[in-house]
Amino acid sequence: MSAPSARSKFKAILKNSTAAGLAVAMLAGALPVAVAPAYAEAVKVEAAQVPSFADVVEAVSPAVVSVRVQSNVEQTADSSNFSFGFGGRGFEDLPDDHPLKRFFKEFGGPDGEQYGERRPDRMPHGGKGRLRPTSQGSGFFISEDGYIVTNNHVIDDGVAFTIVMNDGKELDAKLVGKDSRTDLALLKVDNPKQKFTYVTFAEDENMRVGDWVVAVGNPFGLGGTVTAGIISARGRDIGSGPYDDYIQIDAAVNRGNSGGPDFNLAGEVVGINTAIFSPSGGNVGIAFAIPASVAKDVIEKLKDGGTVQRGWLGVQIQPVTQDIADSLGLSEPSGALVVAPQAGSPGGKAGIKQGDVITAVNGEPVKDPRDLARRIAAFDPATTVDVSIWREGKASSLKVELGELPSEQALAGPESQNGDATQAPATEQALAGMGLSVTPAEDGKGLTIVDVDPDSDAADKGMKAGEKITSVNNQSVATAADVLKVLDQAKKDGRTKALFQIESENGSRFVALPIEQG
């Protein structure tokens, strides 16, 4: 018998090794009894899936709209061109196949008008000037008869409003009312023949940090855009006003999403997008929305009368820190410290004084100045409320008939001080252990700070030379001796800190400083 060829030997080895490998695998339970096919199969993973938002989006999308806003612009010699930075040319000078020319033509007005222009017979004010686009945002229907919620900053200064529905249909809308303090506005589409799909507001108490939210809006003019994320935080203060109480979400929100809704998985509106935090101008996953409870209350008032009337106490306030609480003998750092009541204000007339801490309204505890502002604003003007205060180590209460919050409220500031220019300079004195050198103020009211030790608590709290100390522990001071007398009494009362009232060109504030116990 002839020796087997190398090729036949290789086949035999391959056959035997494959069979042996399959046999071992079958005995180990790694493979089924049936031999797997020689070709690859598609991978299928049996695992829990993230909930789809498709059903929510399909249900709510017809209620979400794009809002286009136009304002009057005086006609100029070259105002027939809508320039976008192409060397002074209008978009009509671009080549026909240029994508930007196609884009702007696509967004043209009715009857061949260029986007941003309207015929004189369609212009307000007798056709003087022309209408030009000034902003574009989002909004949503809250009733079948055409009421639409959006942001105040979207429609501010606009004279003509166009609603673009998710099917592309355009409708004219009119402004019902707006509220700059909460950045909300209400529009109305008058179309009796049509009933609009609308959405409702959620209840705030059912919202939790970590819940899913779906944002639907018009970022960068791209209507009907959907993004998803979670509620990242609640009660955010971003410094936009006294009523800040925003929901923070991480869903992608960009320019044009303003006024658009954030939905929960039940299709209810939990918030209205109003601001983003963005060093670059784009989305970084931090967006802020007006909570449903705030929006619901404001929108109802706008629908009734076109304006929002709020109660007004008329006091300048600041937070109560732990240091301030210690200096006043409060058990915890809560409430709102009155820096100054405004002249003629309801709070001033009722007897609220500088240095009082407002701790409750109608028996409901006040957490901080924002909480007080929201509580007072929730009352109608002329409502009488019980205001609980902490004064000179004792609790008491006052009845205050609230006024109406002025449209442009001026913060209470220090009155101008006119010193006698011929008065001889006073002697500089050091306040022992406070890190401050002071001299009597030229008007005889308070002490002017001459120097601040950079290593002192006073420096750490921001006290500066040139500022004035007007009171310590709510007692007026005119000399260094007055201050030391108040500090000695505070030591006897067991206080570890004293409350200094400071006046500067920026207004008045309170600073708590530790008392030297030696």
Catalytically active residues, by annotation: 153, 183, 258
Kindly list the distances between the CA atom of residue 186 and the CA atoms of 140, 304, 374, in Å, as whole numbers in the listed order: 10, 11, 21
In contact, 389 and 396? CB cutoff 8 Å: yes
Pairwise CA distance, residues 106 & 93, whole Å: 16
Identify the three-state secondary structure at position 212.
strand
DSSP string covering 252-312, please? ---TT-TT-EEE-TTS-EEEEEEEE--SSSS--S-EEEEEHHHHHHHHHHHHHHSS---EE
Pairwise CA distance, residues 272 & 274, whole Å: 6
Pairwise CA distance, residues 169 & 216, whole Å: 17
Identify the three-state secondary structure at position 436.
strand
Kindly list the distances between the CA atom of residue 27 and the CA atoms of 15, 35, 496, in Å, as whole numbers in the listed order: 18, 13, 81
Pairwise CA distance, residues 392 & 477, whole Å: 16
CA atoms within 13 A on the CB side of 148: 36
Q: Which helix (H) or strand (E) holds 139?
A: strand 130-141
In contact, 311 and 362? CB cutoff 8 Å: no
> Who's near 301: CB < 8 A, 6+ residues apart?
179, 307, 308, 309
